[in-house]
Amino acid sequence: METPTNIPDYPAARPLALTDKPLLDAVFALLQPRVSELTFANLYLFRAPHAYRLTMVGDAVVVIGQGYDGAPYFLPPLTGTVSVATQTLLDDGMTLYGADGEFVERHLAGGGYQVTEDRDSFDYLHRRQELAELPGNRFHKKRNRISYFAVRHPYTVELYREGFREDCLNLLQEWHRVRTEMGSSSVDPETAAAEEALALAGGLGLEGVVVLVEGRVAAFALGERLNRQTAVCHFEKADPFMEGAAQLVDREFNRLLFTDCTWTNREQDLGVPGLRDAKLSYHPAELVRKFRVRRLPLQA
């Protein structure tokens, strides 16, 4: 991967590699993050579109990258003297992305910063058991769609394994085709990341479910543990022409996996109106707020 020219160079900055997994897994186990970006699998799978690199700023390990628009940013520093590293990067003109409210309060208490809510990046946090059971009137439309699917398509559900990879890839390509026709801006990096996730699921610590109709994969979902109490679903793909398949695979992911977790993080909506409506229709218990932070220009 070429080093992006619009990201400042820091000592020992280098692309994220699979060999970094033990280190970052240990860091995240200590941090117990709430934001969905902060898992090794998520960072690794999206390392190309976001040009993720690891670097040291003082004694702090930091992930730097860029948005889909090419604008450089850094994620909240992971170790060391976090406040100093954050201020150093902001002073260098970098933007902090993915800071939750607790990080802002702890490390950016002083003035001189522009702190902006990033609504498009808010994570949707749900009670896992609600997603697994879809109880009450709030979820009757979800249950109806699942029933519609079940009546028309006798199905089975299995845990994801390598043997399902090829069929999942076929489904993913159909999903890509339909989404491309709809004009989705992030469809290419999303598809590439999902392809690699299917190939490396075991090594990355991802778990998943597949919905099978007549032996063919009609939907799949892959995720992992975000913290001790929370699972995160990174990928959820369903046959776009099978109504109810998406609702079914979401329910089964939460029914069968990470059953000791209280919460499921369903990630962000990226500001896509249809995706936002779909995520809100699952009645999140909380939107995990994220902020972008910049250093205010000095007054003349």
Separation CA 26–CA 19 (nearest Å): 13
Could you give the C-alpha distances from 125 to 101, 131, 219, 230, 275, in angstroms and in order?
Answer: 15, 11, 22, 9, 15
State percent of the chain over pLDDT 70. 95
pLDDT of residue 7: 61
40: exposed, middle or buried (C-beta count within 10 Å: 0-12, 13-18, 19+)?
A: buried
Number of domains in the chain: 2
154 and 253 both lie in a single domain: yes
106 plus 195 within the same structural domain = no
pLDDT at residue 186 in the model: 80
pLDDT at 168 over 90: yes
Report residue 91 as tokens.
């002073």
Tell me, what's the pLDDT at 237?
Answer: 98
Please check whether residues 46 and 67 belong to one and the same domain: yes
pLDDT at 298 exceeding the cut of 90: no
- Whether residue 224 lies inside any domain: the answer is yes
Res 71: pLDDT: 87
Q: Is 282 a member of any domain?
A: no
Residue 257 domain boundaries: 123-267
Give me the percent of the chain exceeding a pLDDT of 90.
87
Tokens (6 digits) for 19: 């060999």
Q: Is residue 272 part of a domain?
A: no
Q: Is the pLDDT of residue 228 over 60?
A: yes
Least confidently predicted of 80-89, 174-183, 191-200, 274-283: 174-183
Q: Is the pLDDT of residue 70 over 90?
A: no
Integer Cα distance of 4 and 92 in angstroms: 17
* Residue 300 maps to a domain: no
Indicate whether 3 belongs to any domain.
no
User: What is the C-alpha to C-alpha distance for residues 133 and 18, in angstroms, rounded to an integer?
Assistant: 36
Tens digits of per-residue pLDDT, 175-221?
999 988 876 668 999 999 999 999 999 999 999 999 999 999 999 99
Structure tokens at 294: 């910049």
The pLDDT value recorded for residue 8 is 63
- CATH number, domain of 52, equals 3.40.630.30
What value does the mean pLDDT of the chain take? 93
Residues 160-188 have a mean pLDDT of 91
